[in-house]
Amino acid sequence: MAVGPTLAGSRLRRLARHEAPAAGGASPQLPAPVEDEICELCGVAVPPEHRHLLDLDKRDLLCACRACSLLFDGDAAGGGHYKLVPDRRLSLDDFQLDDVTWERLSIPVEMAFFFRNSREGRVMAYYPSPAGPTESLLGLEAWADIETANPVLATMADDTEALLVNHAKGARRHWLVPIEDCYALVGLIRMRWRGFSGGAEVWEEIDRFFDELDAKSASSRRE
């Protein structure tokens, strides 16, 4: 699943139908594996709730079984090639991002995600679209101000965690999530979008996505 506009449609669909693991607490009961879900390192079957590795060279996400995930669970693991995507999800209930600062980011839509690309040494901004994840090539001059106002962003893991912003239809919601969640949202929009405005069905699915993300996220106030 390439991090960029060329993200494969089949893999977007697979991510879009996955439910993320619950935040904290005991591990949930794992359902039976989906037929075509395998670990892309060793080939064993994996359940829908599984971890991913990010290939930093290809900017691809790879499905990983529990055993392979454990091999890459550490800062020094992966030899600078692979990174294990964290499973932390935080609802940033006290996030500081007013409308003026949001406008300074020059994002053309009202949903976007931001992550630090360690290879390029900069923060990158993408937004979901019917064509897939689209990079915003406009200025990010306001990002330093956002980081200063929100120290939690200093804890965001390079490449594998993202700030997810939803300002659509009057919402003002922000989360710190695994990068895979952003692509699950992208896949949902790509699969369901109809016409110019998307249609009622896709907006119902988007609302459900964010409701489920809330249910699976810890509050940043408890961090």
Confidence (pLDDT) at 137: 78
Q: What is the pLDDT of residues 140-155, one digit of tens each?
A: 788 999 999 999 999 9
Question: Residue 4 falls within a domain, yes or no?
Answer: no
The answer to whether residue 97 sits within a structural domain is yes
What are the strands of the beta sheet with 132-135, ordered from one edge?
A: 132-135, 122-129, 111-117, 161-166, 173-178, 90-91, 218-219
Determine the structural domain holding residue 182 and report its residue range. Answer: 9-222
Identify each DSSP E strand in 23-73 by its residue range: 51-55, 60-64
Residue 2 lies inside a defined structural domain of this protein: no
Q: Which has the closest alpha carbon to 75: 67, 65, 86? A: 86
Residue at 49 is within a domain: yes
| Range scoring the smallest mean pLDDT among 18-32, 66-80, 88-102 | 18-32
What is the C-alpha separation between 148 and 197, in angstroms, rounded? 35
Each residue of 50-62: pLDDT tens digit?
999 999 988 889 9
**Which amino acid, residue 18?**
H
Eight-class DSSP state of 191: H
Residues whose CB is less than 8 angstroms from the CB of residue 196 and which lie 6 or more positions away in sequence, other chains included: none
Q: Flag whether the pTM goes above 0.75.
A: yes
pLDDT value at position 65?
94
Residue 1 lies in a domain: no
Residue 138's nearest CA partner among 108, 179, 102 is 108
Integer Cα distance of 70 and 51 in angstroms: 10
- More confident position, 57 or 19: 57
Is 66 within a domain? yes
Q: Is residue 30 very low, low, confident or very high in pLDDT (cuts 50, 70, 90)? A: very low
The residue-averaged pLDDT of 159-169 equals: 96
Q: Show the beta-strand stretches assigned E in the chain.
A: 51-55, 60-64, 82-84, 90-91, 111-117, 122-129, 132-135, 161-166, 173-178, 218-219
Number of domains in the chain: 1
Q: Is the pLDDT of residue 21 over 70?
A: no
Residue 196 lies in a domain: yes
